[in-house]
Homo-oligomer: A and B are copies of this chain.
Amino acid sequence: MKTAIITIGDEILIGQIVDTNTAWMAQKLTNAGFEVTEKISIGDNAQQIKDTISDVFTRVDVILTTGGLGPTKDDITKKTLCEYYGTDLIFDDSVLENIRNVFPGSSTLNPLTHDQAYVPRDCTVIQNRVGTAPITWFDRNDKVLVSMPGVPYEMRYNMENEIIPRLQAKYSAEAYVNKVFIVGGYTESALAIHLTDWENELPEGFGLAYLPSPGMMKLRLYVKGEKRREELEHETEKLRRLLGTAIYAEKDIPFEKILSEHLLRKGLTVGTAESCTGGNIAHLITSISGSSQYFKGGIVSYSNEAKCNILQVSSSNIERDGAVSSSVVTEMAQGAQKVLNVDCAMAVSGIAGPDGGTDEKPVGTVWIATAVGDRVISRKYQMGKFREMNIIRASNTAILQLLEMLRE
């Protein structure tokens, strides 16, 4: 079932918000058997909204829109959908009651919030249990348009609990079956060359996508139709033989989730000692729910003073080798093990940039030490020129380096 996502809002076109919604939506829709063939962002402009809907409906059966449902006057989606479908807004008491449930504390609603209870006549209204903007579902000539708010957690809650179940009930779509592999230790082209023969001999209808991320590659092997799952399993088996231990996981999960699974299985605890990554590794680890079972804490030792006082790094090592050195990250990792009382530790010290680089240690130089019990490995990496990317790559690389030790 061909599906399009249309995001509505001037703020998207002027780049004031990053769209994290549509990737999430596309993934859920794909898994549910709906083929997202285009994603479009347009402004809060009535004519453009109507023209785009008309045009896109010539190519797809389902349109999901997000945005433009706020209480302020720059939000015009609801009114514009009335124009498109030739209807008008009516007040809906059940929506007002839902709004009161969402904000149980406030006895009086301000007028703008109150007006959220106006909905288009002649559509199905879906109550938004986590926000004030109702969701509207239009079904004309077997073409469905669903308009939902763009607030990420409202969109997610309603997609999962209301919209996808209703779409599945209406259409019986043939889902893709697919398999994702997290692969470490290859660049994109090295991996492609290694897999050329196998890829060329994939059966009709199979696709393979290469998705590079900092420090790893994701491979997605896919084919349409549940009936082809056995072939998929067969090709997966061949890929396993080709890649061996370079495959870190056979599902689409981040490194921190793979680490989580290893630590839980082995009953080990972990801690962090971060300098240039500034807490990002701890943040990644604790973004996994249940991480308190194995993560006991971390030290962000951004200053030399913090490295010495809290992690017991010797100031003579810092003076002799500099803070970005094997001796210092090794002491940081061991210090973290001791002060946090953990089995494993990751320690990172580097020059994230844009300042602080020297000829000997240019921006992007990063030392990473990982410790499991008494064993410590420290390695030097050369990341890139960009602060943001250096922080992300160093974080992923530290987790990968610890994973290597845990998998041995």
A358 to chain B, nearest CB (A): 15
A312 to chain B, nearest CB (A): 12
Q: Are B10 and A28 in contact (CB under 8 A)?
A: no
- Which chain B residues lie closer than 8 Å to A264 at the CB level? none
Q: Are A15 and B10 in contact (CB under 8 A)?
A: no
Q: Are B302 and A300 in contact (CB under 8 A)?
A: no
- Which chain B residues lie closer than 8 Å to A130 at the CB level? 385
- Which chain B residues lie closer than 8 Å to A94 at the CB level? none
Q: Are B297 and A310 in contact (CB under 8 A)?
A: yes
Contact with B along A186-215 (1 / 0, CB 8 A): 001110110000010000000111111000
- Copies of this chain present in the complex amount to 2
A30 to chain B, nearest CB (A): 5
A313 to chain B, nearest CB (A): 12
- Which chain B residues lie closer than 8 Å to A302 at the CB level? 282, 286, 291-292, 295-298
Q: Are B296 and A384 in contact (CB under 8 A)?
A: no
Interface of A is mostly: mixed
Given A298-B300, A353-B289, are A22 and B15 also a contact pair (CB < 8 Å)? yes
- Which chain B residues lie closer than 8 Å to A354 at the CB level? 289
Residues of A13-50 whose CB lies within 8 A of B: 13-20, 22-30, 36-43, 48
A152 to chain B, nearest CB (A): 8
Given A26-B13, A188-B72, are A296 and B305 also a contact pair (CB < 8 Å)? yes
* 4 shortest interchain CB distances as A-B pairs: A278-B286, A279-B282, A15-B27, A15-B26
15 A-B residue pairs with Cβ-Cβ distance under 8 Å, sorted by A, are A14-B176, A15-B26, A15-B29, A16-B220, A18-B20, A38-B40, A38-B48, A70-B212, A110-B189, A153-B385, A277-B286, A278-B291, A289-B354, A296-B302, A298-B299
Kindly list 4 other residue pairs between chains A and B, CB separation below 8 angstroms, not including A74-B209, A110-B189: A18-B18, A71-B188, A272-B300, A282-B282
